[in-house]
Amino acid sequence: MGAGTLHVAPVDAARAMFAQVQQQAAAVGITLREPPPEPTSCCGRGCNGCVWEGFFAAADYWREEALLQLG
């Protein structure tokens, strides 16, 4: 199994969420900070504290902050 294989669906969902929230913000003239970058250093071994865990935590935080700005 290659690096990131287990994260295909969640990554796609995160990308879709980023796009949807950015579109909502643009529609009302709000500029959001860039979403967190996807990890490039996952070894695919399921490490405790995997870079993907950090990414998804950052994605959740980004969404919460963006929704606060959108009111």
- Residue 39, in any domain of the structure: no
Average pLDDT, the chain: 89
Collect all residues with Cβ–Cβ distance below 8 Å to 10 and sequence separation of at least 6: 56
**pLDDT average, residue stretch 10-34:** 96
- Residue 67, in any domain of the structure: yes
- Residue 65, in any domain of the structure: yes
- Residue 33, in any domain of the structure: no
**pLDDT average, residue stretch 47-57:** 93
The C-alpha angle with vertex 25 and arms to 20 and 27, in degrees rounded to 5, equals 95
Does residue 8 carry a pLDDT above 60? no
Question: What is the value of pTM for the model shown?
Answer: 0.83
- Residue 38, in any domain of the structure: no
Query: What is the tens place of the pLDDT at every residue in 27-50?
Result: 999 999 999 999 999 999 989 999
Q: How many domains does the chain have?
A: 1
Residue range of the domain that includes 67: 47-71
pLDDT above 90 covers a percentage of the chain that reads 83
